[in-house]
Structure 1
């Protein structure tokens, strides 16, 4: 064997030994040394205290929070990684997320951020407070009445499509539709609805998906040239890739690059570029209108100017980042929610019947779109929405927080400083000490004083100072759409149909094929 071959073999052997020590021996030593005192917490799996790989494997299964919910029935606290704890009781909510908590968002928000932070990923408390002040005008409750006409417009456009697909009613006694009558993918069209609605609310321009009946939109490259792409195809894969690889923070950037060798991951990375190009095009078009003197009562106007008309002077990158999260989170979670609630109602006919009675009592038979003023305070309608959000929160995973350097007591248990902690909304909402028969869809639990007592354990929108700033907008859309749907239409699911859910950071839902027909007056 030549000296060069020997040298190469020695080098390869050295690399192998280093990899063995660094990736296998060293984590075992650190685990048993236990300098932070985390070994007292039960492991999610035998190797969770040594490596984040078990949690990454779990993430690839697409149902990690459901799995954690089962484990937490026996263990209130689980170690899901070398420096990561998951909590399973609602008692942890206030400690981790409540007002005044010393916990901050952890470094996962840093490593997935773009060139500029937006409201959802900024970590610094001062910067977050500044952003919240700028955006508070855009998300104020008073704006709901001013934006209602935009939501109404989108419902009318959606119903134009639904009316064209209506079939004859199901024959009396028949429970399931003829396959030829199942001609609407409700999931697809509600996604069009929320994308059109949030773009109108935010940028005073609809994407036109409901009118065109497809999701091809214009995107803009950094050089100013444009191209056509599928917005739904660009919207979801980015978060999916992050949800698969993010859990080992120190290796995430490397894993993100290396994974692109594999077509499965490379396609997801390409979608991120397309999504950013869509946002760039929408933002640039709105900026051009603003610079031409156009004034609109929308989200973009609030980014550019304060309520007194003074310039906010935000960097353009920050403006685009805020438009990005508005279009993303503002459409995705609402689309998931309105899909889940109709699915739940169709699976629970008694709840649907009671809801229809409540809605029909305040609407005229010929009213197409429910006026917000008539339905916003209907208790059973809100109960149906909140119970769906409880049972299947659009964002099910535990939002990660970092304990302060001095540590923190969570659920009465001391947790060392600089440890990532979280409680999944899906897990919290299955805490039987608060939500009896937690796996069942029971809207009645939200009524009366009992319902009020549940609010502190309801974290579909997170809670505390970092709670979702857009919850008023999503309730506006959900309330108007669902009330209008159950008032105007009947639906039927195919026999044996089950809605498919894939957990990323949010739930990606599968198709929801339905038969639709007009209710008899």
Structure 2
């Protein structure tokens, strides 16, 4: 009886009943949760937006937007006196026994307090001191690739998913903790890195239990002890590595520099517990996302040799050796930037979007008034694949991102301002500058040193990959051989 009442209320009398959406998704929360836990939420949202429009009710209390103005309305800074749309506590909640952190806190003031301490590590000034470390690890990646491909003139089949992950985690380990994870050196994942991938799936399941507060304890009892131990072990390892970094006698410029400096003297502005909790999350945010963008973009370039040829021409026409490639020599290269932008559009590292909640008093988004505590989100992939925003939206076409005087006429009306792969507003990703540097430097070095192409019978369709907050990447195999000429 109660279930029937709930379904009727959700469909016809709920404050969101006026928002279009499918029957199975709006009558109960179950369909949404099943989609999220199966890893299919991203393509499901794309299909729903294609059928119901750019504003879709995806659960009794959830609305997804595929309209570019929603970015500013949901994530942007609020006018004085207006409450911000806050992070959804269903998704953003620290595990039991762990303090809040820069990523997880739903309190904007707490976020801004911690952000002031951390942000100096991600500025233009900081990049100048970090650039040698970035190029060092990118060069080492090229060295390891050479070891694998020089034995056969036909090249070698390389799982770039693994190698871009090795690179990204080794680099973030050095910049965060003062030491590499040794993934590239050992040609294998560090045990902690392996744990991180499983950790993301655990977070999805734990978030799902919070949708059902009445039976949350029952559902939590179903969580395998290994998952609980994984959370605790993940945090414990992060604590140890941070303590090791703090005990280094030699001063170095890295992500921990401002946290240990005058901006946070005696940990008055950001406690040691908040530092430990924050940096365990930054390891994921600063490595997994970069590796995803590198893998996705390289996969598309290998499948589009005519686009790859243009990038090769640009890079090899400017650089003679790897030592010339760095953060600043690659910054203004039009076609390199275009390839990365197009890779980020089609292979967004966080394709399911960033959930928020409507504040007290309600709010209006894209003309729809929504009551407080409504769960809202912008679906980045639904926007990226919207014909209203992108001509030939399903195709990998870097030319759409070129300066207007070099851009083909057919792409002049593409809504390039609809893409925010690093977020927007006061809680945008602080690491955007260094992420772009990693992408530019690594791709430039790759096409300078090697010829790449698809491996027949092993072509990856990116859209088939699952998402558990971040993309669950399958092996992407690329033929890599020393460059000709």
Q: Same fold (TM over 0.5)?
A: yes
Which residue of structure 1 aligns with residue 469 of structure 2? 505
Partner of 1:31: 10
Is residue 430–residue 438 contact of structure 1 (8 Å, CA) maintained in 2?
A: yes
- Does residue 125 (structure 1) correspond to residue 108 (structure 2)? The answer is yes
Q: CA deviation at 1:306?
A: 3.3
Unaligned runs of 5+ in 2: none
Q: What is aligned with 1:351? A: 307
Match of 1:214 in 2: 188
Query: Is 1:259 paired with 2:216?
Result: no
> Would you say the 8 A contact 1:491–1:517 is kept in 2?
yes
| 1:163 Cα deviation after fit | 0.9
Separation in structure 2 between the aligned mates of residue 311 and residue 270 of structure 1, nearest angstrom: 31
CA contact (8 A) 1:401 1:420 kept: yes
- Alpha-carbon deviation of 1:71? 1.6
1:455 Cα deviation after fit: 4.3
Give distance in 2, aligned partners of 1:112 and 1:256.
18
Aligned partners of 2:277 and 2:352: how far apart in 1?
A: 23
The match for 2:58 is 80
Q: Is the CA contact (8 Å cut-off) linking 1:104 and 1:401 kept in structure 2?
A: yes
Distance 1:137 1:209 in 2: 28
Rounded to whole Å, the distance in 1 between the matches of 2:183 and 2:174 is 12
Question: 1:146: which partner in 2?
Answer: 129
Distance 1:89 1:426 in 2: 11
Which of 158, 163, 173 is the equivalent residue of 2:141?
A: 158
Could you tell me which runs of 5 or more consecutive residues in structure 1 were left unpaired when the two chains were aligned: 1-19, 171-176, 217-229
- Quick check: 2:315–2:444 contact (8 Å CA) kept in 1? yes
Question: Which residue in the other structure is 1:15 paired with?
Answer: none
Cα displacement (A) at 1:427:
1.5
Contact 2:391-2:414 within 8 A present in 1 as well: no
Distance 1:352 1:267 in 2: 44
Matched, 1:64 2:41: yes
Distance 1:333 1:471 in 2: 11
Partner of 2:380: 425
Structure with max Cα Rg: 1
451, 455, 471: which one aligns with 2:432? 471
Q: Does 1:448 align with 2:403?
A: yes
1:475, CA displacement in angstroms?
Answer: 0.7
Structure 2 Cα separation of the partners of residues 248 and 84 of structure 1: 16
- Which residue of 2 is the match for residue 10 of structure 1? none
Within a 5 Å distance, the mapping from 1:13-28 to structure 2 comes to 21=2, 24-25=3-4, 27-28=6-7
Check conservation: 1:50, 1:82, Cα contact below 8 A. yes
Cα deviation for residue 268 of structure 1 reads 4.4
Please state how far the C-alpha of 1:139 moved relative to its aligned partner. Answer: 1.0
Cα contact 2:76–2:425 (8 A) shared by 1: yes
Residue 336 (str. 1) matches residue 296 (str. 2): no
Q: Deviations over 1:111-168 (max 9, x none)?
A: 3456222222222121121112111211112211211111111122212211111154
Do 1:244 and 1:504's aligned partners in 2 also have CA atoms closer than 8 Å? no
Provide the aligned C-alpha RMSD in A. 2.4
Find the aligned partners of 2:37 and 2:299 in 1 and give their Cα distance. 25
Q: Which moved more, 1:146-155 or 1:108-117?
A: 108-117
C-alpha distance in structure 2 between counterparts of 1:468 and 1:452, whole Å: 27
Whether the aligned pair in 1 keeps the contact of 2:102 and 2:114 (CA below 8 Å) is: yes
Contact (CA 8 Å) 1:231, 1:275: kept in 2 or not? Answer: yes
Give the corresponding residue for 1:384. Answer: 339
1:48 counterpart SS class: helix
TM-score under structure 1 length normalisation: 0.84
- SS across alignment from 1:301: coil
Distance in 1, matches of 2:247 and 2:484, equals 48
Question: In the alignment, what sits opposite 2:282?
Answer: 326
**In 1, Cα distance between the equivalents of 2:240 and 2:362?**
45
Does structure 2 conserve the Cα–Cα contact (< 8 Å) formed by 1:113 and 1:121? no
Secondary structure in 1 aligned to 2:364?
A: strand
3-state SS, counterpart of residue 464 of structure 1: coil
Partner of 1:519: 483
Query: Is the Cα contact below 8 Å between 2:389 and 2:415 reproduced in 1?
Result: yes
Shift of 1:33: 6.9
Shift of 1:417: 1.9
Q: How many residues align?
A: 466
Superposed displacement of residue 245, structure 1: 5.0
When structure 1 is superposed on structure 2, of 341-350 and 234-243 the one drifting more is 234-243
Q: What CA deviation, in whole Å up to 9, does each residue of 1:325-358 have, x standing for no partner? A: 2211101000111111110100111110000111
Deviates more, 1:249-258 or 1:465-474: 249-258
Q: Distance in 2 between matches of 1:489 and 1:272?
A: 40
Residue aligning to 2:86: 104
- Shift in Å at residue 377 of structure 1? 0.9
Give the one of 261, 264, 271 matched to 2:230. 271
SS of the equivalent of 1:73 reads helix
